[in-house]
């Protein structure tokens, strides 16, 4: 607003011009402000130029890179069947190249996954089921996938998935895949350490595991 008033022509109804010494003083102020604005403008141009060169240098040197996370796939076969299963990504990439997975078998696969991938489970030439990857965590993680029986009336399969957090402490995932009528309880028991001669044998601590 200051620059618009001082630089523009005064309206016709404006008062007469102030004394000469005030005009000179105002002109000096405007000159100083103009010089400061010019210096500031040049500084901004120089900074923008340097910033552009710096960004170009970072891009050229490879500093700007996309984040890549390490996802390890862990598959467990909890489907009670005498024949083992093979796992394919898509239609042709066989992940179980060293042999099919038997019942109660778990394996880790280093094959990188991306959203939209499909994991096919086959028993021989027959397709048992397909799992679609909808999304992946934005951090390093172990991705657990369990295939199991859907019900006792058919041979259909179901899947349970879990993501282990990227932590240093141990983690346990308990997944109930049993589809029968019997009920069971899970307990956590301390490891029994060997006792030295003369030490009193104490029963290990045991606690029932509560889960949904």
User: What is the C-alpha to C-alpha distance for residues 161 and 173, in angstroms, rounded to an integer?
Assistant: 10
Q: Tokens 């997975």 identify what position? A: 101
pTM, rounded to two decimals: 0.62
Q: What is the pLDDT of residue 78?
A: 96
pLDDT along the chain (212 residues), means of 10: 34 42 42 44 47 46 60 94 94 90 95 89 93 90 94 92 89 90 87 78 84 68
- pLDDT one-digit tens code per residue, 24-74: 444 444 343 444 444 445 445 444 444 444 444 444 444 444 567 888 999
User: What is the C-alpha to C-alpha distance for residues 25 and 27, in angstroms, rounded to an integer?
Assistant: 5
Q: What is the pLDDT of residue 194?
A: 77
């Amino acid at each position: 607003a200051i620059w618009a008033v001082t630089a523009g022509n005064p309206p016709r109804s404006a008062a007469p011009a102030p004394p000469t010494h005030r005009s000179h003083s105002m002109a000096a102020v405007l000159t100083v402000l103009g010089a400061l604005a010019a210096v500031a403008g040049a500084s901004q141009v120089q900074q923008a130029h340097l910033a552009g060169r710096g960004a170009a240098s970072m891009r050229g040197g490879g500093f700007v890179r996309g984040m890549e996370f390490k996802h390890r796939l862990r598959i467990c076969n909890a489907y009670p069947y005498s024949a083992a299963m093979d796992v394919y990504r898509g239609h042709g990439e066989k992940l179980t190249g060293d042999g099919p997975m038997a019942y109660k078998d778990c394996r880790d696969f280093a094959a990188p996954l991306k959203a939209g991938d499909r994991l096919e489970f086959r028993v021989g030439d027959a397709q048992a089921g397909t799992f679609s990857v909808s999304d992946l965590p934005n951090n390093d993680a172990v991705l657990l996938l369990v295939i199991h029986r859907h019900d006792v009336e058919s041979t259909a399969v179901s899947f349970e998935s879990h993501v282990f957090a990227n932590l240093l402490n141990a983690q346990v995932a308990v997944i109930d895949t049993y589809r029968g009528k019997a009920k069971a309880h899970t307990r956590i028991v301390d490891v029994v350490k060997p006792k030295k001669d003369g030490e009193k044998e104490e029963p290990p601590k045991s606690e029932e595991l509560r889960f949904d």
